[in-house]
Chain A
Amino acid sequence: MKFVDEFRDTEKAKSLTKAIHQIALNLAPNLTKPLQIMEFCGGHTHTIFRYGIEQMLPDNIEMVHGPGCPVCVLPMGRVDDCVALAEQPDVIFTTFGDAMRVPGSKKSLLQAKADGADIRMTYSPMDALNIARNNPDKEVIFFGLGFETTMPSSAFTVLQAERENISNFSLFCNHITTVPTIKAVLDSPDMQLDGFLAPGHVAMVTGERPFDFIALDYHKPIVITGFEPLDILHSLWMVLQQIEQGRSVVENQYTRIVQPNGNTPALEAISQVFEIREFFEWRGLGSIDHSGVRMKASYAAYDAEKKFAVPNLKIADPKSCQCGEVVKGVIKPWDCKIFGTKCNPENPMGALMVSSEGACAAYYNNGYHEKETA
């Protein structure tokens, strides 16, 4: 398939893998532990597992699967809020597909749907707006979820609703921001990471500059990375080159998509509609300052938090969960006490088991149920 197969070429993969093994060999004498490279984004985690990339890497390079899966990091209380909104009379609640299965403290959206709530899966907030147009006697709520990648489409949809004066549409804004989250990971005392693959589609919106602090302040190499398997290998090679040469800068591997300054109209739409929250609660990571956005007061008419009574209760993560340590690379999924037993994809306890992009679900779904089988 054009524009797909080129990025999955076996021969190119072989030569990149060879180059990666060579650098790992060069670095080996100076290493006291394996190099840990974090791919922040759940999309990268998905590609890594789908193509078996970890098995192609040398033993002294470990991938750490970061917290960049917006579905995984949804706290239970927020899912409860969604269920409460969806169960109000005359509401059509719309959401991206993989948010349907995230467990709340009582039920998931999938269970709420089975109990009779009108919950519909959409691929885009514009589809939700269309449902609002076609159902003027219903309130249509879109569950806005994701990092800077999906933020612009939510913002544009709100602006479009305003332009057309569609008053029965609102956004339940749970968008989160990348930089404060990476910073929280970097600031944690047990952090041992040596380099980063930065999320390519976030950078497509934000540009390269927001990632500068990782290279400048924390002296970690970081490469903005695309989502095809060759992108991942290429970026890993770029990170390793920086490590070998003792450099730490922001490099862009995903030049076919990411402009240095990002996407100006998208950034303008974001800043027109959204503002930073003081803090936002994450499943597995706790509360992180400035890690979420809310809608500005001028868009209150389209803000589900203003239009409806949202319970907004905090529900603590299950105590046995070790998602935070997995996310920071301190332990592997199978080291967690409840991995694969109490916590599995059918009955996820922790954030990382929730979506197929979460590290634990990826390990489990790819058959790594125990350490020995990997």
Chain B
Amino acid sequence: MNSLLAKTKFSGKTITLSHGAGGKAMHDLIDEIFVAGFDSPELTVLEDQARFDLKDLTKLGNRLAMTTDSYVVDPLFFPGGDIGKLAVTGTINDLAVGGAIPLYLTCGMIIEEGFAIDDLQRIVASMKATADAAGVRIVTGDTKVVPRGAADKLFINTAGVGVIAEQCNIMANRATEGDVVIINGYVGDHGAAIVDARGELALEISTETDCQPLNYLIQKMLTVCPDIHCMRDATRGGLATVLNEFAQNSQVAIELDQTKIPIREEVRGVCEVLGLDPLYLANEGKLVAIVAAEDADALIELMQQHPAGKNSSVIGKVAASPQGKVILETGFGGNRIIDMLVGEQLPRIC
């Protein structure tokens, strides 16, 4: 990928404290790496803020949506993605699952002294490519450089703005008895890929992160099912956590069918070996939606035609009680309650 990037005077160099000092070095870095890399009209004018025409926004809906997230993933590059792709995708998805059309992103970077500028350029290019593919623009940003040891290589914060259409009302408290639970594909890929990429466990798997923007898929979903009741992306804490949020906010029970939850063989294998539960593994391109049962067939059919939804399926349903609980039918004849995770998921000893 490096060879495709424009050569700059920074090629082969590393970040120093002067790149964050506000002087010429910083301006050069911003011009050559960020402004050139993100290449958006709002950024090019180099004012202290990006400016938008309200008229353009009100054509799309009646409410603004805004969100922010910080990205500190280690390692920065992993199978199928990198921190840049993650930083753009994560914020786009946080807007999109509320029904918003994501439009603009900010990008704040905290860079550790000594970071390779070639890597920075790769990450910026990845952010740009991801944003372009999702139809959003990175319109303003900030760069800070901290002394070695004060941050781990690179942290990125992105904030995003989008517009929600008038008829859309997606809320975590709208699940009702009889609704069904839908997911757009395999769970746990991102978590497994990161465990593998850390290289501490000498696993030999080929699972890639599922990191992908979901906004186009969701906008399509809203055309056949304008009244999606609940929708969130299942990131940290996995599928289990999102469903607990729905069950608690809506005061309903959610019944999952283990045999219907799509999990790749490789991810299952990693979990079997390491004693992890795939329902709690992180995803970066998975939405969980709760919709009226009568909308499910048409919705699944449409989702399966979209690249981000090829393996979509119904994985469970909403019942009246026990309120606030997620219950998994194990496929073995018993069932168990899937609770929120208390701390980090730790591998078991034996």
Q: Does A313 contact B (CB under 8 A)?
A: no
Partner of B349, one of A70, A110, A229: A70
**Interface residues of A, count at CB 8 A:** 49
Report the minimal beta-carbon distance from B144 to chain A, rounded to whole angstroms. 24
Q: Does B335 contact A (CB under 8 A)?
A: yes
Digit string of B321-344 for contact with A (CB within 8 Å is 1, else 0)? 010010000111111110100110
Asked if A31 lies at the interface with its beta carbon under 8 angstroms from chain B, I say no
Question: From residue A310, how far is it (CB to closest CB) to chain B in Å?
Answer: 21
Contact B346 A149 (CB under 8 A): no
Contact of B332 among A97, A229, A355 (CB under 8 A): A229
The contact of A366 among B201, B331, B337, B342, by CB within 8 Å, is: B337
Within 8 A of B (CB), among A55-102: 55-56, 70-71, 96-101
B257 vs chain A, min Cβ distance (A): 12
Does B348 reach chain A (CB closer than 8 Å)? yes
Q: Is B274 an interface residue (CB 8 A)?
A: yes
Question: B4: CB under 8 A from chain A?
Answer: no
Residues of A within 8 A of B331 (CB): 8, 10
Using A52-B334, A365-B339, A373-B322 as known contacts, say yes or no to A71 and B349 having CB atoms under 8 A apart.
Answer: yes
Q: Distance in Å from the Cβ of A253 to the closest Cβ of chain B?
A: 17
Residues of A contacting B269 in the complex (Cβ-Cβ under 8 angstroms) = 1
- Judge if B272 is at the interface, Cβ distance under 8 Å: yes
- Say if the beta carbon of B178 comes within 8 Å of chain A: no
Tell me, in angstroms, the Cα distance from A70 to B337 when the chains sit together.
25
Measured between C-beta atoms, what is the minimum distance from B276 to chain A in Å? 10
CB distance from B128 to the nearest CB of A (A): 36
Within 8 Å of chain A (Cβ to Cβ): is B347? yes
Evaluate whether A46 and B348 lie within 8 angstroms (CB atoms) in the complex, with A8-B331, A52-B332, A53-B334 already known.
Answer: yes
A8 touches B350 (CB 8 A): no
Q: Taking the complex as formed, is A13 at the interface, i.e. its CB lies under 8 A from any CB of chain B?
A: yes
Q: A242 an interface residue at 8 Å Cβ cutoff?
A: no
CB distance from A343 to the nearest CB of B (A): 13
Q: Say yes or no: is A49 at the interface (Cβ < 8 Å to chain B).
A: yes
Kindly identify which residue among A10, A123, A357 contacts B333, using a CB–CB cutoff of 8 Å.
A10
* Cα A46 to Cα B330 with chains together (Å): 14
In contact, B348 and A345 (Cβ under 8 angstroms): no
Q: Is A121 in contact with chain B by the CB < 8 A criterion?
A: yes
Residues of B within 8 A of A149 (CB): 350
| A201, B349: Cα distance in complex, Å | 12
Q: How far apart are the CA atoms of A13 and B322 in the complex, in Å?
A: 26
- Tell me if B346 and A98 are in contact (CB < 8 A): yes
- A275 CA to B333 CA, complexed, in Å: 45
Look across to chain B and name the residue whose beta carbon is closest to the beta carbon of A57: B334
Q: B348–A357 contact, CB under 8 A? A: yes
Chain B hits for A53, CB < 8 A: 332, 334
Chain A min CB distance to B240 (Å): 11
Contact indicator B332/A13 (Cβ below 8 Å): yes
The answer to whether the Cβ of B268 comes within 8 Å of any Cβ in the partner chain is yes
Q: Which of B265, B337, B346 contacts A97 (CB 8 A)?
A: B346
- The answer to whether B347 and A96 have CB atoms under 8 Å apart is yes
Q: How far is the CA of A145 from the CA of B346 in the complex (A)?
A: 16
Name 24 A/B residue pairs within 8 A (Cβ), A-sorted.
A1-B272, A4-B272, A13-B332, A49-B336, A51-B336, A53-B334, A70-B349, A70-B350, A96-B347, A97-B347, A97-B348, A98-B346, A98-B347, A101-B343, A101-B346, A123-B201, A145-B349, A150-B349, A346-B343, A355-B348, A357-B348, A367-B325, A367-B339, A368-B337
With contacts A201-B350, A355-B348 known, what are 11 further pairs, Cβ within 8 A? A43-B350, A51-B330, A51-B333, A51-B334, A52-B330, A98-B346, A98-B349, A145-B349, A150-B349, A229-B332, A346-B342
